[in-house]
Amino acid sequence: MNRRDTLALTLAGLGLPIRARSATPAMPTAVQIIQTQIDNGTLHAAVLHVQRGDQVTQHVFGKAKADSMFLLGSISKPLTAAAVMVLVDRGELKLSDHAVKYFPEFNEGARKDITIEQLLTHTSGLPDQLENNSELRAGHAPLSEFVRGAMRTPLLFAPGTKYHYQSMGILLAAEIAERVTKTPLPEFLRQHVFGPLGMSRCVLGLGSFKKSDMVPMQTEHAAPESGAGDPNAREWDWNSDYWRNLAAPWGGAHSSAADVATFLRSFLHPAGKVMREETARLMIHDHTPTLEAHRGIGFMVGPASLGQGCSAAAFGHSGSTGTLAWADPATDMSFVLLTSLPKNVSGGLILYPVSDLVAGA
């Protein structure tokens, strides 16, 4: 079933005409899709933030507040990539640099051929998660243990030859940034990305916030790598003190919807606060045009993964925690939908139907 079929079924389930995408104003219909899932108890909290030009529309649902901070999941990846690109912008590293330059121990076989660009575009050959991911999390392993595992894990293919979504590549890119700056990534992001952009409610890990400041996840629907709702995973799942504090560069950021929009729009209208315009443009350029997925530096690119109706220039990311955010230079629009319901449920039910409606308006 494709996304258009899913949208049709969703609208039909709401008692709306199947052709509501063209016959009904997009925002009221989008709001109704979300509110229906709040009303029936499927969804506990959400914030929808849409901006076109200077016009901002925000809707708050359920137990959320306008400035509520959600666990972003993989929307953390472009945040991490931005930290790396600050260093590229300063000339402190190059995307073409081989990772082994910063990790002398990362020199076995094809590992020595992996570049920073490949780590950030999911083309390095590294896996998404380590084979012992659950054991590491259950043991409350620090990020350094994940780094050691990523250094040793077998590659799935020769670097640069294929696309394979890989959180471990983002982890190693983050480790390079920390080794170059000698600064923990959460602090570097606070000083050089979030601070300059005025993103006061965005943080990798918890920082100065408390877990109680964050919207709880509906972990009974969690992704497999995050416990899959197993009660035995409560000490390391998305709601655990361990995970909320880990500051995983591939999935551990928290933010309000407005701050995610601010981040996205800094690429629509680069002002040099974080990096030069040409560096910002490089992040949202398609670096994998011949592969099965289109990727920028840390970003997804194009409508396939973001919203039917987006242009080929659209960029953004989704998160398995139940989040989706994108911006489109063709329309000067940004879209952020943060929910408490994991993507394996909210994706087809809420995230993509709402995104498709808004993008196609």
| Structure confidence by residue, pLDDT tens digits, 106-150 | 999 999 999 999 999 999 999 999 999 999 999 999 999 999 999
- Do residues 124 and 169 lie in contact, with contact meaning Cβ atoms separated by under 8 Å? yes
Of the candidates 7, 308, 27, the residue with the CA atom closest to the CA atom of residue 17: 7
State whether residue 336 is helix, strand or coil: strand
- Confidence at residue 126, expressed as pLDDT on a 0 to 100 scale: 98
Report which DSSP code applies to 308. Answer: B
Instruction: Calculate the dihedral angle through the C-alpha atoms of 290, 293, 299, 300, rounding to the nearest 10 degrees.
Output: 130
The pLDDT tens digits of the residues spanning 29-77 come to: 999 999 999 999 999 999 999 999 999 999 999 999 999 999 999 999 9
All domains of the chain in start order, with CATH: 70-359 (3.40.710.10)
pLDDT at 3: 54
The answer to whether 360 touches 21, Cβ cutoff 8 Å, is yes
The pLDDT value recorded for residue 360 is 87
Asked if 216 and 239 count as a contact pair (C-beta separation under 8 A), the reply is yes
Task: Decide: 173 and 76 in contact? Cβ < 8 Å.
Answer: no
Cα atoms in the Cβ-side hemisphere of radius 13 Å centred on 103: 26
**How far apart are the C-alpha atoms of 76 and 251, rounded to whole Å?**
5
Centre a 10 Å sphere on the Cβ of residue 176 and count the other Cβ atoms it contains: 20
What is the pTM for the complete model shown? 0.93
Residues of the chain with pLDDT under 50: 1, 4-12, 15-24
User: Which pLDDT score, from 0 to 100, does residue 25 have?
Assistant: 67
CB 129 within 8 A of CB 167: yes
